[in-house]
Structure 1
Amino acid sequence: MAWKRNRALVTAAAIITFCGATVAEPKEVSADGKQADTVVTGGRIKTPQGWAQAMAIKDGIIIAIGSDAELATEVATARERIDLGGASVFPGLQDMHVHPVFAGLEQMGCMFPYGAPPEAIAARLRECVAAAEPGEWIIGGNWVAAVFAPGEQTRHWLDRIAPDNPVMLEDEAHHSLWVNSRALELAGLTRVSPDPVGGIIEREADGSPNGLLRETAVEAVSIVAPKPTSEQRREALVWASREMLSYGITSYMIASIRDEELADIAALSGSEDIKQRVRGCMVWAPATASSPEYGLDLIARRNLFRTPRFQPDCVKIFLDGVPTESRTAAMLEPYLHAGATSPHDHGTLMVPQEELDRKVAEFDRQGLHIKFHAAGDGAVRAGVDAVAHARKVNGIGGPSHHVGHTTFAAASDFARAAEVGLAIEFSPYIWYPTPIASVDIARVVGSERMERWVPIRDALDSGVLVVAGSDWSVVPSVNPFLAIETMVTRQKPGGSEETLGLGQSISIDEALEIFTGNGARIMGLRDRVGTLEVGMEADFFISRDNLLEMPLSEIHKLKVEETWIQGEKVYDRSEL
């Protein structure tokens, strides 16, 4: 139901009602100059002390909060009054791991549903080939290996559908590519091509590439594929940011930024197109035999792109891959039945510990926040060790850092992380039963390790700071309410008999704090956002349902009616 709005003189108060109430007579502006710009009343507003009914906002700051009666003066003199009609108000949500450019660009690609079976993938590819010019690249995804029979997923499968068009399809984890023979030819990959450092070229019996490329091996094809233009990247960013607003996400962290993207993000940040507070993580990678150290020039130029709502002060370091059939996540204990193409049975640690220690200490000294990609427990330990080294070299009190994903981790490393000021991030959408987790990953790590799959409970109990990052568009939706529901139930959205890592479930209140106050802390914004109380900036969302009181199995369906950032309404569902 749309809100009714009364356009009035600045000296009058406009009442906007959530449920269609009438408009009040105009009131005079308060003489003391403390007139609120906006007052919301008649709602259920989540505060650190419990539930309030009314909240007054001036210049983007919350100046009063309490019962309707306690804010009677503010209500009487406010320029704009909103009657919530019993709706709920929560602090804006924080997503600590998104890929907005990828998410937006995928809307333009040859995409098929997550978990799509081979016949659905084939049908979609035929459509894309029919719409393409001969020789034009077909780029899309996202596939999961669990749907294919052993040996079925090869370049030859793609060749039968697209013999004349190079094809490049991402997997769900965005750590592998599936390509056809034409794409391999353009990339110059043959049976004599060696595996790159940190990558795997899956091969046929005679050594020829079979069409599956893992980790750094994907670069051979991606570098010859067409690149999106700046205009396309900006269009993607705007679409993704607006999508996040529709879910009440008021701050987010871009998990990996490379050279061509930084200027686009800075140009749009804080404009009418991107309203959220954004932190950007620039990718750094060590030198290899074939390439120099990556990212230092961009990191050195970072402050040229800083804006009031964009902080390019984070460095992203990939420590490993993923614990899927590729077996590239670095594990403390070996994988089950490690394949002949695996670099070794413990996975891949992409940065030698000595070099990692040195670079982390250097970035820490410069005051940069470090975000590690660490899916395996071996990679998590490497990140903890590196930050402990930085604290020893530079002293305590340096910038915060955090480990991203943390799919597996030793419980003892959580306590160590807390000691050195290293936060732990978990990724939603994989902590409940899905083919990638329940089949692909379980198959290579075994049932015992899956009992501590995405160990959020252990992390919270250790006292370490815990945050959540969707990893969108690796996942199909950025919906945080689906994540909150399944953090608690460890079931499929809507409920299921099947669970995954049930012993790691948490409470609904803990889940909300992870997405609000904890996220604000790791963003360096906790003094400004994360709770609704006097003195904080007015970042919040409004929903008809109360996510703390509705049935757990329904939380993923929650709809955001409005999203506000610093006292400005930036999303209104009724206007769609």
Structure 2
Amino acid sequence: MAGGLVSPGFTDAHCHPIQGGLERLRCDLSEESTREGYLAAVKAYADAHPDREWILGGGWAMPAFPGGTPTAADLDTVVPDRPAFLPNRDHHGAWVNSRALALAGIDQRTPDPADGRIERDADGNPTGTLHEGAMALVSRLAPGISAAEYYGGLIEGQRYLHSVGVTAWQDAIVGSYAGMDDPGATYRRAAESGDLRSHVVGALWWERDRGLDQVADLVARREALSGGRFQGSAIKIMQDGVAENFTAAMLTPYLDAEGRETTNRGHSFVEAGALREVVAALDEAGFQVHVHAIGDRATREALDAFERARRENRHHIAHLQVIHPDDVPRFAALGVAANAQALWAYADEQMTELTLPFLGPERGTWQYPFGDLHRAGARLVMGSDWPVSSPDPLQAMHVAVNRTDPERSNGEEGEPFLPEQALELETAFAAYTSGSAWINRRDELDGAGALAPGAAADLVVLDRDPFAGPPSEIGRTRVVSSWIDGEAVYSR
């Protein structure tokens, strides 16, 4: 290996490969980082595809725009004649142009939906950013994605994940969401044809506007979709939104720009009492429950719901941005895995400008407490939430260990963000290998996630041994090759 390292292949415990693959094949904004760069990329795509009735794609980052909200007026300068719908990288908001707003009939008189918000100016006019459920006001009008496009997105998403050493994953939304149709049939087709090389668990989408009557439907879907390398054995519940647009569910209100307490505590998309009933019913049906929780209230509501659940179903909570200190030891006590997106745990502009001022000094220190969770005995698993952020596990592990920007080094990375929450590299590696393989039950299936006699030869070869060098260089590690069942699926 010429000084490199052989590791178990990485398992991404929370990602969206079909979305990621489609965005790479459409108007891909993920490689840009400024307002000017985004507009130039949109213009280039629109000019190159004059036949497209809509401009679709996405991947922009909120810090590039004042207040994290881009405007239709900006987008109109590069796409004035066709509707444009471009979700941001976290898929909790979308940038639309004036043509899209007009087609959807969104104006000063349009009310906010119960599960979202239309960004407006001082006079109440929509400005071009749609948050959460408000995205559907436009996305429902966009042309449908063909079966061939979905299949191409999966193949491209799988190829890209293999290139960063990810050999298995859990798809965190297998259902209709944010302009995407249910990708279950795409996975089933790929599993039957053999094109799906990786073992995948699909988290079937819990429709929050329906009740317990959908449990029977989900059991039937699990049976219909599962086979080969795809298992629809988990359920995804999105309990809240994100902190940057004030939809993450908090125990106490957000602050305003002047540091004064507001009345807004975010959204619990499933009422807490109903969530307990839902989790109990899904647990009884033998599903693993996978909850999106960003705010401390959402995390507490999820933990309360898991109190009576059976551990053998291997439930987990993803994202875990803000956790009240009283709830940290409950993960181990309840047997609930902590699904960490470690790449987010450093002080970028999104953190310093769009998050910390509105959380306040005390609550700001409760963010991404991976160290406390580990010390309290919680089981850690890791994922990327790609295309929300890079799927590269080495970048995420760099942040888990250093709590600094993985793109900077040589003294330019700045002060670590809450360094007391850093992990040892061994712990981070375990979370991305044996930990995430455990959440997908690969330990029972074929022993993947560990290097051991008789285990599945799902492997990754790295160009260096990150344990041998300084922690500040973990993020420089690159994948040489990825292997599934002893066969190379990627070679640099």
Question: 5+ unaligned residues in a row in structure 1: which ranges?
Answer: 1-83
Of residues 358, 371, 374, the one that matches 1:457 is: 371
- Say if 1:418 and 1:464, in contact at 8 Å, map to a contact too: yes
In the alignment, residue 34 of structure 2 is paired with which amino acid? P
Of residues 297, 301, 304, the one that matches 2:217 is: 297
- Say if 1:411 and 1:459, in contact at 8 Å, map to a contact too: no
- Say if 1:134 and 1:165, in contact at 8 Å, map to a contact too: no
1:158 to partner: Cα distance: 2.1
Q: Does 1:510 align with 2:423?
A: no
Question: 5+ unaligned residues in a row in structure 2: which ranges?
Answer: 177-181
In the alignment, residue 243 of structure 1 is paired with which amino acid? Y
In the alignment, residue 464 of structure 1 is paired with which amino acid? A
- Say if 1:450 and 1:500, in contact at 8 Å, map to a contact too: no
Determine the C-alpha separation between the residues in 2 that align with 1:205 and 1:120: 28
TM-aligned CA distance change 1:367 to 1:150, over 3 Å: closer
TM-aligned CA distance change 1:150 to 1:287, over 3 Å: closer
Of residues 527, 545, 569, the one that matches 2:464 is: 545
How many equivalent pairs are there? Answer: 479
TM-score by length of 1: 0.78
What is aligned with 1:173?
Answer: 90
Q: Does 1:410 align with 2:324?
A: yes
Of residues 457, 462, 487, the one that matches 2:400 is: 487
What is aligned with 1:466?
Answer: 380
What is aligned with 1:266?
Answer: 188
TM-aligned CA distance change 1:549 to 1:270, over 3 Å: farther
1:282 to partner: Cα distance: 0.9
Determine the C-alpha separation between the residues in 1 that align with 2:61 and 2:488: 39
Determine the C-alpha separation between the residues in 2 that align with 1:153 and 1:474: 17
What is aligned with 1:378?
Answer: 297
What is aligned with 1:281?
Answer: 203
What is aligned with 1:60?
Answer: none
- Say if 2:236 and 2:291, in contact at 8 Å, map to a contact too: yes
Mark the structure with the bigger radius of gyration: 1
Q: Does 1:526 align with 2:443?
A: yes
1:344 to partner: Cα distance: 4.7
Greater helix content: 2
1:263 to partner: Cα distance: 1.1
- Give per-residue Cα distances to partners, 1:169-221, cap 9 Å, x unaligned: 22222100121121012222232222112111122333332221111111111
Determine the C-alpha separation between the residues in 1 that align with 2:42 and 2:367: 34
1:152 to partner: Cα distance: 7.7
Q: SS state of the match for residue 316, structure 2?
A: strand
TM-aligned CA distance change 1:487 to 1:132, over 3 Å: same
Determine the C-alpha separation between the residues in 2 that align with 1:534 and 1:314: 29
Of residues 64, 87, 90, the one that matches 1:147 is: 64
- Say if 2:215 and 2:281, in contact at 8 Å, map to a contact too: no
TM-score by length of 2: 0.91
TM-aligned CA distance change 1:415 to 1:240, over 3 Å: same
TM-aligned CA distance change 1:560 to 1:205, over 3 Å: closer
Q: SS state of the match for residue 107, structure 1?
A: helix
Q: Does 1:355 align with 2:277?
A: no
1:294 to partner: Cα distance: 6.9
What is aligned with 2:79?
Answer: 162
TM-aligned CA distance change 1:543 to 1:148, over 3 Å: closer
In the alignment, residue 410 of structure 1 is paired with which amino acid? H
- Say if 2:256 and 2:262, in contact at 8 Å, map to a contact too: no
Q: Does 1:319 align with 2:239?
A: yes
How large is the Cα RMSD of the aligned pairs? 2.5
TM-aligned CA distance change 1:544 to 1:177, over 3 Å: closer
TM-aligned CA distance change 1:89 to 1:433, over 3 Å: same
In the alignment, residue 348 of structure 2 is paired with which amino acid? T
- Say if 1:285 and 1:318, in contact at 8 Å, map to a contact too: no
Superposition map of 1:438-457 within 5 A: 438-457=352-371
More relative contact order in 1 or in 2 (CA 8 Å, sep 6+)? 2
What is aligned with 2:179?
Answer: none
What is aligned with 2:351?
Answer: 437
- Say if 2:10 and 2:166, in contact at 8 Å, map to a contact too: yes
